[in-house]
Amino acid sequence: MISRRKLIYEILDIGNKQHSLGKAIDILLIVLISLNVLFVMLETLPSINAEQRRWFYGFEVFSVIIFTIEYVARVWSCVEDGESNHKHPFWGRLRYMLTPLALIDLIVILPFYLSMMLVVDLRFMRVLRLLRVFKLTRYSSSMSLLLQVLQREARSIGAALFVLFMLIIMASSLIYYAEHRAQPEFFGSIPASMWWAIVTMTTVGYGDVIPVTVMGKVMASIISIMSLGIVALPAGLLASGFSEAIRERRHTYEKMVNMAIQDGELDAIEQKALNHMREALGISKEDAAHILHANLDRKMEQEVEQDLSQLRQEIDAVLHDRCPHCNHNIKWLERRSNRDDG
């Protein structure tokens, strides 16, 4: 019999929706998160009166209670994940609490409890409450894909951002020495020159600060040309990471399809498993159908090719007076059969 903790884990697990209750809870949480973000924005309207603010506060308390129960339930049941390193009762839960999604869940509820214990700026607390929108990443395959790409390409993106930061420092230093005498109000120091370097290297170019000296214009031209490739590098890394992650997800789904059609047909259980896998990987129904039909056609072509190959061998054996089964000479087999009969 399944334990209560295992049942809670399966209900809360996004990738394992075998329970209709789990799907209903996901929908309710998505609606609750969306309403929270909407109400935080509505609270900033000047027309909101005190009575409406009290109603908003009551909804805030209700939401925090629900999110707290969800967080505690996830931490308590995470040890039931058989494919992760969260099995240890203490260290496994601690490792889970340090995962990005668990940290988001904690940050969502932490400001409310901090406001009850500490004197903090309510405007700052309102900004933190807007972080609840990141809880939707748990229910969005696109956002989970983005987090996966960011985690995989973190080192490459970090290196690209470091190079960009170094170039900003160099550009602001060079433009400072070229322009600080001509325009001390804009280029009076290297930190002040960084505004121009950032808007220039990111190709925004507001035009509020421009070099006026010949040396400054030459440097600005060189910096602008260099920055085109440097600034686009992180975007290229993200695009490449997205393409690779999508290809891997399609390959994973294709492997499962090949396993399901080994017997040449797809029963109801296999179709249900494939549908769960498709939803977990974020593959559209059209792409899934295309992968399934392509693999079925490929398997059918392989079977037809095998049958044709066997048929060609049999025909060739008959044409050369050979038995298609044992490859012996047919006339020799006839003489042996006659001798045995005699």
Over residues 201-223, the pLDDT tens digits come to 877 666 678 888 999 889 888 88
- The beta-strand segments (E) located in the chain are none
**Best mean pLDDT range from 135-139, 172-176, 198-202, 287-291:** 172-176
What pLDDT, on the 0 to 100 scale, is given for residue 121? Answer: 57
Check: CB of residue 109 under 8 Å from CB of residue 68: yes
Check: CB of residue 89 under 8 Å from CB of residue 96: no
Q: State the Cα–Cα distance between residues 271 and 205, nearest whole angstrom.
A: 54
Mean pLDDT, the chain, whole residue set: 79
Buried/exposed 254-267: b ≥16 CB within 10 Å, e otherwise = bebbeebbeeeeee
Give the chain's radius of gyration (CA, Å): 33
Q: State the Cα–Cα distance between residues 41 and 51, nearest whole angstrom.
A: 17
> Which stretch of 62-71, 143-152, 198-207, 310-319 has the lowest confidence by average pLDDT?
310-319
Question: For residue 314, what pLDDT band results from cuts at 50, 70 and 90?
Answer: low
Over residues 70-97, the pLDDT tens digits come to 999 999 998 887 666 777 788 888 898 9
Sequence letter at residue 36: N
pLDDT at 245 over 60: yes
What pLDDT, on the 0 to 100 scale, is given for residue 148? Answer: 76
Q: Give 339 or 235, the one with higher predicted confidence.
A: 235
Q: Both tokens of residue 93?
A: 């839960």
Strand partners, 322: 329
CATH of domain 155-248: 1.10.287.70
> Which stretch of 248-262, 312-326, 328-342 has the lowest confidence by average pLDDT?
328-342
Span 4-139 CATH architecture: Up-down Bundle (1.20)
Q: State the Cα–Cα distance between residues 70 and 73, nearest whole angstrom.
A: 5
CA nearest 132: which of 95, 99, 106, 98? Answer: 106
Over residues 280-294, the pLDDT tens digits come to 777 777 888 888 888
pLDDT at 254 over 90: no
Sequence letter at residue 279: E
DSSP reduced 3-state for 135: helix
Check: CB of residue 158 under 8 Å from CB of residue 166: no
- Contacts of residue 233, defined as CB under 8 A and 6 or more positions apart, other chains included, come to 160, 163, 164
Q: Both tokens of residue 321?
A: 């007076």
pLDDT at 322 over 60: no
Check: CB of residue 147 under 8 Å from CB of residue 100: yes
- Contacts of residue 93, defined as CB under 8 A and 6 or more positions apart, other chains included, come to 75, 76, 78, 79, 86
Question: For residue 62, what pLDDT band results from cuts at 50, 70 and 90?
Answer: very high
